[in-house]
């Protein structure tokens, strides 16, 4: 977490430092990302950086928290359907908005999700804990709302259901490039072109399986 000294900086200066840090971490492995390069690009003294952050890990985790907050705001401002209109209608739209956030904010998405899945972050479990905890809590609240509105059965355990949905959704980030035979480099600067319509179809199929189950209708 940044020190108060950082928050005392003018907003424009804070923004420059954060933008340069996001670009550095998104386009380099964690090990090769350079604080020296960040401070040079941001035009601040290296000594000043350590008045703002404890070090590289402190900065990275702040960017993770920032990304989580921005994704939450993005979702809250999206024109999503209401739970009362159908839980799975809502869930499908939620996943599509989440994908839209990641595609329109590729550098933040890289920071949020590269650590747990590509393993180049030495504190990857902490990154994963932060991102998954927020997502699971959010989905659990939507599930509880759906149960109260009789959109989901009363016997459903919200904790288990939320865990299942988030775990599967998390693994989808691995499944999609494999399914589409994309050569995924974990760094933004070498990312592949992605067909959004194809991803939306995968999301649609995923939600349909959640809704109908794998042992349901045979048609």
Arch. (CATH architecture) of 4-57: Orthogonal Bundle (1.10)
pTM of the model: 0.84
Indicate if the pLDDT at residue 32 is higher than 60.
yes
Tokens read off for 65: 């928290």
Domain boundaries in the chain?
4-57, 62-212
Q: Which two tokens stand for residue 101?
A: 């956030």
Q: What CATH class does 62-212 carry?
A: mainly alpha
Q: For residue range 156-188, list pLDDT tens digits in order.
A: 999 999 999 998 888 887 777 777 776 655 555
């Amino acid at each position: 977490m940044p020190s108060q000294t950082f928050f005392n900086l003018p907003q424009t200066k804070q923004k420059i430092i954060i933008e340069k840090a996001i670009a550095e971490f998104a386009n380099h492995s964690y090990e090769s990302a350079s604080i020296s390069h960040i401070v040079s690009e941001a035009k601040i003294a290296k000594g000043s950086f350590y008045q703002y952050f404890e070090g590289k890990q402190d900065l990275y985790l702040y960017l993770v928290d920032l990304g989580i907050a921005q994704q939450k705001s993005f979702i809250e401002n999206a024109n999503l359907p209401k739970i009362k209109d159908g839980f799975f209608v809502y869930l499908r739209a939620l996943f599509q908005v989440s994908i839209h956030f990641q595609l329109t904010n590729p550098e933040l998405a890289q920071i949020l999700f590269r650590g747990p899945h590509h393993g180049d972050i030495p504190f990857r479990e902490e990154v994963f804990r932060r991102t998954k905890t927020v997502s699971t809590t959010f989905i659990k609240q939507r599930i509880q709302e759906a149960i109260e509105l009789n959109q989901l059965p009363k016997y459903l355990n919200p904790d288990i259901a939320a865990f299942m949905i988030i775990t599967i959704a998390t693994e989808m980030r691995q499944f999609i490039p494999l399914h589409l035979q994309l050569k995924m480099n974990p760094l933004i600067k070498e990312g592949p072109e992605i067909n959004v319509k194809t991803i939306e179809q995968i999301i649609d199929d995923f939600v349909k399986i959640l809704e109908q189950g794998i042992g349901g209708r045979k048609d």
